[in-house]
Structure formats: structure tokens, C-alpha cells
């Protein structure tokens, strides 16, 4: 049961995320009946599955929301901002119940009371057998002590039958002859049955008299109904609740979905015997002939034609249900715990390391057969690695959609108007990266609205639309993903940042900085240009967290802005954090790895050019002067310098940079291992990897290395 409860939690969390997105979309298009249907079905699933797996509090609470959205679905209640606010608050409460957090009973009671007030306003309801029932006419409660009128209403009790799986029932409905005089139309009852499941109906007309004997006010027809539904037998009984004293109603379960006996259904004769329309002796007697069975029964006057037709309809109905279950395709996806997937990635990483050892051993021994085996293992390992990495890839839209709620709530809090436009939501990124993007994106979007988007009246005075726009876009670019968050607000004034930085002593008054360098000051902890403190921002906390998190993901963050036109924050992230293609280099006896995704070219510098580069920390790369950094000098590597140094030209956030190394060993499939706690504060390394011979190679964090040099040269001005 614990396993099932955990599976329900996961499914419910996914449904709540989809529900939130659907509600926000419904608020923009309130007449979208398809959305309303999706919301109602999601609520029903959360309620039904919750009761099935012991989450009765969630089931009862969700039932309140579902009841109101049934009114919305039927067109009896319009979509309003009040309803949206209330429903979104309810989803937050359900999330807390799923996490088994301490329940706020006062808040829960207020939400329930508000939902029931919406029911009261419509007038199309009544309280019956512990459940809210909708009616076609306006009515008041039939009992004076209605639960709606209490100070602290208790939750409505829900029948367990609401949560049954699909079951097929045989219903024999024989109304009394005077049923019409009570104002009852049996056809409406049949239509109501059709509304709760898949239904087959056969009318029995054998009792209709001749024309001269007929009473036009009497009912002579009865009906046999085969109904497949998930509502449970009590829902069927509710259909006949007002006529059960004047009718003969027999309800019998004949097939249950989920049973193991998906075999061919009964033959017509067996069905007739089960129904009591035919005796076993008569069945055996007729079977001795060779005519069609139904035809023989009628000829022998064993049963009426209507009974045979009804049995055939039942046989056809159940066969269709059974056939549908057999033909149902197998699941196209499975749910796997993240821990198992992480374990698989670790094992693949170990396999890659062992494969590297095998390839190295084969090359040393130079045996053709061993080399052939090593090459085949390398090919298979590469395919396993690629498939495993693709399993970890998820569409980034899974976190993008949740920010629509954030934008909505911020606008309500700040009295602003803005809409979130999402592009590239199907762009895939490693799950490990996605899991760590939520907080940085939240900070950026909050700042975009609070600092950037102007109040509606200000925007109108500037000739802008009252409603601001926040763009959240993602796109692939080689081995990286670019995420851009932009807003059409007031933009950033570089002079405001410069003045604030000088006030805090971060730069000297005579420092000469470009706009790009000034914008980079935003990421310094404690720096905020907010003119007043608010519950959203103004304390200088957030953007430093953004930069630190993105750099921990081996990514970069940049800002561009135009005053009066808006600001764009660009995040550059690697596709995966587990296994990367690297360029292995050697410094004396030590090994280092450059991420291959940022390497542009490898060149050599001879003695004279090398001395010039070392003196000026600059080098000539195909006619372009770029910064030069010697890894020997940066890491203080001892030993003799090589006569010819090899240069690795990489693309950093500010342009190309050349790194001098002793020797380039070649491309290497790198399994990233995290460094221990003792090395956590060491700048310039993002991890380590194990080479084929067991040697450890350090993976270079190029962005941090470049930043270390920039910090020493720029901010010392």
C-alpha cells in the first residue's frame, strides 16, 4: 500500500501542475469548454484515486471543488476571478496535504465555505443523502439544518462507490403501468444512465396490447439495459431513486474490468438461463437441433423475440468491452524513481571508465583481435551512454508552465498587469539541470516584474500597452541550451547601478567600466537598485544566488538592457552534467580536461611567439588579438617548459581565450565525479574523472578561471 500511496502522490503532483496550467489558461479563455472538461476530469481523478489509496481528506476536499466545476461544465456558473483565486488556493492546500504538511483547518474551512457560497448563488442545488445534487429548478435546502448554514461546516461525506473501477451491470427496468400519471418520463431516466457510462438499451414491447385495448395513459414497455460505468452501483440506484416504489428494478453485476478472466463472454443460451428467461432443460432440448439458436427458441415458443434481442445486445456489449481491454495498447511509458535513474547513470559512467581501460590496454598490446573487441565495446558503450542520457532528458516546459502562476500572483500583489509568453517549452534538458533551475528562474521573473514592468497607468502614459509582457524562451545551440527571460519594462539604467556600487564601495569613482561590466555588478550580493523595500524585492538578495547556481551547473549568465525598452537575462547551460565529451591535456605529469563543447581550436606557439604571449598575456589568433593564460603559471606547475606550447582556444562569455598547455592528448569521454568537501572552495575545477589507467584528471571550469583573472584585473581599478 505504501508503494501505491507514493505512486498516487507522484500522479497527483503531476495532475495538480496540469490543473494549475489549465486554470490559468481558462482565466484567459473562460468559454473554452475543452479546458473546463479537462479540469473536471483531473479533479475527479484526484478525488477518486485519493479515496482508493487512503487519502480520504484529499478526496473529500476535492469533492467540494469538483461539485462547483460541475456547475461550470453545465453552464450554470461562469468562470470568474473569484473562482480562479479560490481554486488556485485549493490546489495549494491539496499540495500541502499530499506532502503531509500540517493542515491549516481554518483556511480549509474558509475555502469550503466560499465554494458552498458559490453553490448558493446559483440556486440549482439541493442536499440529499450527504451529497450535493444539482437540479433543473431553483430550490432552497429541503432541511433547515443544512450543512451550508452551520458556522464551521463539516466536509461532505462521499460514498465509496464513487471510486469503483469500470464495472458492467445488467439492469432490468420494468416501470409501473401508471408511471406517466406521476409526471415521470422513463426516457429521461435512460438518458441519465447513458450519462454515467457506456450503455446498450433494448425495449421489451411484448406486453403492448392491441389498439382497441390500449390505454394511452399507461406504460406497457420495459427495458433491459447493459451499462458499463466507473460510478458504482449507488449511482445507478440514484437514477431510479424517485421511481423505485412504483417500478421493478433489478441490477446485477455481470463483468468487472480489471478481472483476470478476459475470456470470451457467455453464449446467448447461457445469458438467457442466467436471466431466468429460459430453463436449462429447454436449453438442452433446443440445442439438439441444428438451426440458429435464437430462431429455434422463438419457433419453439420458449422465449419471446425481445428476450433474445436483449441477450444478443448484452453479448455484443460485453464482447466489445472485453475486446477493448484486450486490444488496449501496452503502456507507452513507465514511471521510474529518480534514484534508480541516477544509479543507472552512475553504472554507465563506470562502464565508460572500464571501456577506456580496455581500449588503452588493447592499444598497448597491439593485438588485432583485442583491438577489434575493444572497438566493438566502445561502440556499444557509446550507444548505451547516449540512450541513458536521453532518458534523463525532459522538456523544459515542465517547469516553465508553473511560472504563469507566479506572474499572476505577483501582478495581483504589485497592482500590475503582465502576461507570460512561453517559447521552446519542448526544448529538452538534463533532469538534474532542470531540478536546479526553479529558484534562479523564479528570482529573475520576480525582478523582471517588480523592477521592470511599470504600473498600467505609467505604461499608458509612455505609449505602451497597459499589460506588460514577460518572454520565457529556450532553444538548443550545439551542446548547450540557451534560456532567455525578457520583459518590455523600463530597462536598467547603468548610472543607477554605478552609483549604488560606488555607494557600497564596490568600485572607485574613477573606474571606467563598459555597460556590460556595469550590468555584471548586479550579481554582487547586497546590491539592489530598488527605490523602496517590498515583500518581493529590495534587499539585494537573489541575483547573486542566480549566478552561483548557474555557474555550479557549469553555465553562464548574462544581462543586456535598453533603458525604456526592457531587459533580457540569458542563461547558457550544458545539456547534461553526468558524462561529457572532453579534451584531455597534460601539464608535466598532471592531466586536465577541457569541456569539448567550448573548445574552438588547438594551435601551437613557437619559442618567440610564446615569449611574447607570456609577457603581454595576449596572443595573435588568426589576425585577432585574444587573451592568453598559461595553465602552468596559474597552477604553479613545476618542471621544464616545453619548447613548443600548445594553445587551446575556447569560447568564454566575453569572447575567445587561449590557454597554454604542454600537450594535447586527444578527445576523451569524461565521466564527471564531484570533488570532496575539502576541495569545494577551490576555484577553477568543476569535478574530476578517472582515466583508463586509474589516473585522476581534473575537469577545468573555464568560466571560473576567466572570472578569477577578471576579478583581479577589473575590480582592482
Q: Which of 97, 113, 12, 17 is nearest to 64 (CA)?
A: 113
Query: Average per-residue pLDDT in the chain?
Result: 78
More confident residue, 540 or 593: 593
User: Does residue 332 sit within a domain?
Assistant: no
| pLDDT score at 536 | 52
Highest mean pLDDT among 118-127, 155-164, 255-264: 118-127
Residue 49's CATH number: 1.20.120.160
pTM (predicted TM-score): 0.57
Mean pLDDT, rounded, for 185-206: 86
Residue 541's CATH number: 3.30.565.10
With 80 as the cut, is the pLDDT of residue 395 above it? yes
535 and 504 within one domain: yes
With 90 as the cut, is the pLDDT of residue 471 above it? yes
How much of the chain, in percent, has pLDDT values that exceed 70?
82
Mean pLDDT, rounded, for 689-715: 75
* Letter string b/e over residues 38-61, b meaning 16 or more CB atoms within 10 A of that residue's CB: bbbebbbebbbbbbebebeebbbb
Least confident of 29-38, 97-106, 194-203: 97-106
Helices 403-414, 2-28: inter-axial angle, 10-degree rounding:
50
Q: Are 466 and 459 in contact (CB under 8 A)?
A: yes
Q: DSSP label at 552?
A: H
514 and 415 within one domain: yes
Number of domains in the chain: 5
Rounded Cα gap, residues 114 and 119, in angstroms: 9
591 and 570 within one domain: no
Contacts of 61 (CB under 8 A, 6+ apart): 90, 93, 94, 97, 108, 112, 155
565 and 492 within one domain: yes
With 70 as the cut, is the pLDDT of residue 162 above it? no
Rounded Cα gap, residues 488 and 486, in angstroms: 7
Q: Are 349 and 381 in contact (CB under 8 A)?
A: no
The sign of the CA dihedral 363, 640, 698, 479 is: negative
| pLDDT score at 194 | 83
235 and 166 within one domain: yes
pLDDT-derived band of residue 540, with 50, 70 and 90 as boundaries?
very low
104 and 136 within one domain: yes
Mean pLDDT, rounded, for 41-59: 83
Coil, helix or strand for 137? coil
Least confident of 95-109, 125-139, 319-333: 125-139
With 90 as the cut, is the pLDDT of residue 318 above it? no
Q: What is the pLDDT of residues 431-451, one digit of tens each?
A: 888 888 888 898 899 988 988
Mean pLDDT, rounded, for 219-232: 88
With 60 as the cut, is the pLDDT of residue 164 above it? no
294 and 171 within one domain: yes
Bridge partners (DSSP) listed for residue 651 = 656
pLDDT-derived band of residue 558, with 50, 70 and 90 as boundaries?
confident
Rounded Cα gap, residues 276 and 270, in angstroms: 10
Q: DSSP label at 588?
A: T
Residue 608's CATH number: 2.30.30.40
Q: What is the pLDDT of residues 604-618, one digit of tens each?
A: 877 777 777 777 888
Least confident of 217-226, 349-358, 457-466: 349-358
Mean pLDDT, rounded, for 195-210: 86
pLDDT-derived band of residue 470, with 50, 70 and 90 as boundaries?
very high
H or E segment and range at residue 647: strand 645-652
With 60 as the cut, is the pLDDT of residue 157 above it? no
Phi and psi at residue 55, in whole multiples of 5°? Answer: -90, 65
Using H for helix, E for strand and C for coil, what is the string for 184-228? CCHHHHHHHHHCCCEEEEEEECCCCCCHHHCCCCCCCCEEEEEEE
With 70 as the cut, is the pLDDT of residue 633 above it? yes
588 and 474 within one domain: no
Q: Are 438 and 557 in contact (CB under 8 A)?
A: no
590 and 502 within one domain: no
Q: Of 305, 326, 347, which residue sits at a domain end? A: 326
Rounded Cα gap, residues 224 and 235, in angstroms: 18
Distances (CA, A) of 463 to 295, 435, 457, 562: 83, 39, 10, 17
User: Does residue 355 sit within a domain?
Assistant: yes
Distances (CA, A) of 328 to 11, 263, 320, 324, 332: 21, 15, 12, 6, 11
Residue 45 structural domain = 2-158
356 and 407 within one domain: no
87 and 39 within one domain: yes
Q: Of 515, 544, 574, which residue sits at a domain end? A: 574
With 70 as the cut, is the pLDDT of residue 290 above it? no
With 60 as the cut, is the pLDDT of residue 158 above it? no
User: Does residue 334 sit within a domain?
Assistant: no
Residue 274's CATH number: 3.30.70.1110
The sign of the CA dihedral 188, 189, 191, 196 is: positive
Q: Of 326, 350, 377, which residue sits at a domain end? A: 326
User: Does residue 177 sit within a domain?
Assistant: yes
Q: Which of 223, 172, 167 is nearest to 198 (CA)?
A: 167
| pLDDT score at 123 | 59
146 and 168 within one domain: no
Q: Which of 248, 252, 266, 283 is nearest to 317 (CA)?
A: 266
User: Does residue 123 sit within a domain?
Assistant: yes
Least confident of 70-74, 123-127, 477-481: 123-127
User: Does residue 487 sit within a domain?
Assistant: yes
pLDDT-derived band of residue 459, with 50, 70 and 90 as boundaries?
very high
Amino acid at each position: 500500500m505504501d508503494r501505491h500511496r507514493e505512486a498516487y502522490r507522484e500522479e497527483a503532483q503531476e495532475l495538480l501542475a496540469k490543473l494549475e496550467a489549465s486554470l490559468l489558461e481558462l482565466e484567459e479563455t473562460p468559454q473554452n469548454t475543452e479546458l473546463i472538461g479537462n479540469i473536471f476530469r483531473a479533479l475527479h481523478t484526484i478525488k477518486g484515486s485519493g479515496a482508493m489509496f487512503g487519502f480520504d481528506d484529499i478526496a473529500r476536499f476535492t469533492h467540494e471543488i469538483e461539485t462547483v466545476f460541475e456547475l461550470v461544465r453545465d453552464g450554470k456558473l461562469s468562470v470568474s476571478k473569484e473562482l480562479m483565486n479560490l481554486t488556485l488556493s485549493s490546489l495549494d492546500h491539496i499540495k500541502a496535504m499530499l506532502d503531509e504538511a500540517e493542515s491549516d483547518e481554518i483556511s480549509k474551512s474558509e475555502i469550503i465555505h466560499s465554494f458552498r457560497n458559490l453553490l448558493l448563488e446559483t440556486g440549482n442545488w439541493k442536499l440529499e443523502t450527504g451529497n450535493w445534487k444539482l437540479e433543473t429548478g431553483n430550490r432552497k435546502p429541503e432541511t433547515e439544518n443544512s450543512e451550508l448554514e452551520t458556522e464551521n461546516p463539516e466536509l461532505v461525506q462521499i460514498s465509496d462507490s464513487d471510486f469503483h473501477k469500470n464495472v458492467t451491470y445488467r439492469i432490468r427496468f420494468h416501470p409501473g403501468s401508471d408511471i406517466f400519471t406521476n409526471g415521470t418520463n422513463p426516457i429521461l431516466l435512460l438518458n441519465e444512465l447513458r450519462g454515467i457510462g457506456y450503455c446498450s438499451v433494448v425495449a421489451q414491447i411484448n406486453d403492448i396490447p392491441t389498439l382497441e385495448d390500449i390505454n394511452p395513459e399507461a406504460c406497457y414497455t420495459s427495458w433491459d439495459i447493459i451499462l458499463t460505468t466507473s460510478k458504482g452501483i449507488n449511482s445507478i440506484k440514484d437514477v431510479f431513486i424517485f421511481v423505485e416504489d412504483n417500478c421493478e428494478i433489478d441490477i446485477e453485476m455481470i463483468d468487472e474490468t480489471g478481472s483476470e478472466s478476459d475470456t470470451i463472454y457467455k453464449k446467448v443460451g447461457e445469458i438467457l438461463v442466467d436471466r431466468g428467461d429460459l430453463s436449462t432443460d429447454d436449453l438442452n432440448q433446443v440445442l439438439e437441433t441444428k438451426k440458429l439458436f435464437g430462431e429455434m427458441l422463438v419457433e419453439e415458443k420458449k422465449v419471446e423475440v425481445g428476450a433474445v434481442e436483449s441477450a444478443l445486445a448484452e453479448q455484443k456489449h460485453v464482447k466489445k468491452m472485453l475486446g477493448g481491454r484486450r486490444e488496449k495498447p501496452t503502456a507507452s511509458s513507465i514511471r521510474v524513481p529518480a534514484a534508480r535513474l541516477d544509479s543507472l547513470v552512475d553504472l554507465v559512467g563506470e562502464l565508460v571508465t572500464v571501456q577506456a581501460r580496455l581500449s588503452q590496454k588493447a592499444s598497448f598490446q597491439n593485438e588485432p583481435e583485442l583491438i577489434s573487441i575493444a572497438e566493438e565495446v566502445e561502440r556499444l558503450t557509446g550507444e548505451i551512454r547516449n540512450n541513458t542520457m536521453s532518458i534523463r532528458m525532459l522538456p523544459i516546459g515542465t517547469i516553465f508552465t508553473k511560472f504563469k502562476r507566479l506572474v499572476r500572483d505577483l501582478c495581483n500583489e504589485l497592482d500590475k498587469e503582465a502576461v507570460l509568453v512561453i517559447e521552446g517549452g519542448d526544448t529538452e534538458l538534463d533532469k538534474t539541470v532542470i531540478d536546479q533551475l526553479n529558484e534562479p528562474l523564479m528570482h529573475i521573473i520576480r525582478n523582471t516584474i517588480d523592477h521592470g514592468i511599470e504600473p498600467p497607468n505609467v505604461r499608458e502614459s509612455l505609449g505602451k500597452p497597459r499589460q506588460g509582457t514577460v518572454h520565457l524562451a529556450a532553444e538548443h545551440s550545439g551542446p548547450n541550451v540557451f534560456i532567455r527571460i525578457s520583459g518590455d519594462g523600463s530597462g536598467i539604467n547603468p548610472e543607477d547601478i554605478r552609483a549604488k556600487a560606488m555607494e557600497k564601495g564596490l568600485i572607485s569613482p574613477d573606474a571606467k567600466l563598459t555597460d556590460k561590466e556595469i550590468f555584471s555588478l548586479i550579481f554582487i550580493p547586497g546590491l539592489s537598485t530598488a527605490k523602496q523595500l517590498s515583500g518581493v524585492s529590495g534587499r539585494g538578495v537573489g541575483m547573486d544566488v542566480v549566478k552561483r547556481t548557474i555557474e555550479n551547473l557549469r553555465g553562464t549568465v548574462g544581462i543586456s538592457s535598453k533603458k525604456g525598452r526592457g531587459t533580457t537575462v540569458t542563461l547558457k547551460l550544458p545539456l547534461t552534467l553526468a558524462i561529457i565529451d572532453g579534451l584531455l591535456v597534460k601539464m608535466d605529469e598532471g592531466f586536465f580536461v577541457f569541456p569539448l563543447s567550448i573548445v574552438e581550436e588547438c594551435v601551437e606557439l613557437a619559442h618567440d611567439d610564446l615569449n611574447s604571449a607570456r609577457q603581454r598575456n595576449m596572443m595573435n589568433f588568426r589576425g585577432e588579438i585574444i587573451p592568453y593564460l598559461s595553465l602552468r603559471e596559474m597552477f604553479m606547475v613545476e618542471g621544464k617548459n616545453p619548447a613548443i606550447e600548445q594553445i587551446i582556444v575556447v569560447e568564454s562569455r566575453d569572447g575567445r581565450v587561449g590557454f597554454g598547455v604542454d600537450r594535447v592528448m586527444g578527445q576523451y569521454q569524461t565521466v564527471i565525479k564531484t570533488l570532496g568537501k575539502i576541495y569545494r572552495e577551490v576555484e577553477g575545477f568543476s569535478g574530476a574523472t578517472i582515466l583508463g589507467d586509474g589516473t585522476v584528471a581534473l575537469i577545468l571550469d573555464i568560466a571560473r578561471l576567466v572570472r578569477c583573472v577578471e576579478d583581479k584585473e577589473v575590480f582592482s581599478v
